Amino acid sequence: MLLIASCGKGPESAQPPSDASSGAGAQAPAGEPPGGTKAKPEPVTVKYYVANDRLDGLLEREAVVEPEEPSDTYRLAMEALKRGDESAGELPLWKNAVFRRVELAGGVLIVDVSLPGEARLGSMGEALAIEAIARTAFQFEEVSALEILVDGEQADSLMGHEELAHPIVRAAYPDEPDAGTAQALTE
């Protein structure tokens, strides 16, 4: 035994060479663990936005999310909008909203929300909430437009104060959030 171990030829090196034509010894494709099941995506850092305590601007924040599959990243980014440290002057504008469906279809991120009474804000809060969700969506290069639905339907306004474009296009929100609340543009 000592002679075999000292030569470096233990049981691990006694495997027969794989034969690709017969499928014997075939390995899982890159990115998949043995057994053919897909690997869970790596954690992703996403940006999300909260209002400052004066409700006159947005604060950019980051969160690390752990998607079960790549498409979960969009939903988790939207859920991050509910975060915020109110004791530090951060107001999460989407804290009480319910994200019913978040999916990407042909470059359009569709976000279906329910807004119970406690989720509704005044006009400035609504404008900031729309900007916050748009900036959160447009951090993803593959998202060219954002379609916000309320309880599965297009609505003229999210909370009754601001007109809601269908869809909101990326160009409506320049890269600098400090530029002030942008007006949503339609295609």
Reduced to 3 states (helix: H, G, I; strand: E, B; else coil), residue 14 is helix
pLDDT value, residue 184: 35
pLDDT digits (tens, 9 = 90+) for 147-185: 999 999 999 999 989 999 999 999 998 775 544 444 333
Identify the H or E element spanning 62.
Answer: strand 58-65
The answer to pTM > 0.85 is no
Distance CA(86)–CA(111), nearest Å, equals 25
Token digits of residue 58? 């947005």
Query: Residue 173 is encoded by which pair of tokens?
Result: 């929100």
Which pLDDT score is estimated for 37? 63
The lowest-confidence range among 19-28, 48-57, 169-178 is 19-28
Contact assessment for residue 156 and residue 148, using Cβ atoms and an 8 Å cutoff: no
Which three-class secondary structure state does DSSP give residue 13? helix
Residue 35 binned pLDDT confidence (cut-offs 50, 70, 90): low
Task: Name the pLDDT band for 1 (thresholds 50, 70, 90).
Answer: very low
Confidence at residue 181, expressed as pLDDT on a 0 to 100 scale: 43
Q: Is the Cβ–Cβ distance between 80 and 65 less than 8 Å?
A: yes
Higher pLDDT, 122 or 151: 151
96 has pLDDT over 60: yes
Q: What is the model's pLDDT at position 187?
A: 30
**pLDDT tens profile 79-93:** 999 999 988 999 999
What is the Cα–Cα distance from 75 to 65, expressed in whole angstroms? 10
| Other CB atoms within 10 A of residue 109 CB | 26
Beta bridge partners of 90: 52
3-state helix, strand, coil split of the chain in percent (to 5) is 25, 25, 50
Q: Which residue has 């690709």 as its token pair?
A: 20
Q: Dihedral sign for Cα 123, 129, 132, 136, please.
A: negative
